[in-house]
Amino acid sequence: MMNMIFVIIMMFFTGNMIFVSKYKHLLIVLLSLEFIVLSIFFFLLVMLSFMEYNMYMLMVFLVFSVCEGALGLSILVSMIRTHGNDYFQSFNLL
Is residue 94 very low, low, confident or very high in pLDDT (cuts 50, 70, 90)? very low
Cβ-in-10-Å burial (0-12, 13-18, 19+) of 8 comes to: buried
Confidence (pLDDT) at 87: 80
pLDDT tens for 1-26 read: 788 899 999 999 999 998 888 678 88
* Domain region containing 62: 2-90
- Number of domains present in the structure of the chain: 1
CATH number, domain of 44, equals 1.10.287.3510
Cβ 43 vs Cβ 8: under 8 Å = yes
pLDDT tens for 25-81 read: 888 888 999 999 999 999 999 998 888 888 888 999 999 999 999 999 998 898 888
Half-sphere exposure of 33 (CA within 13 A, CB side): 16
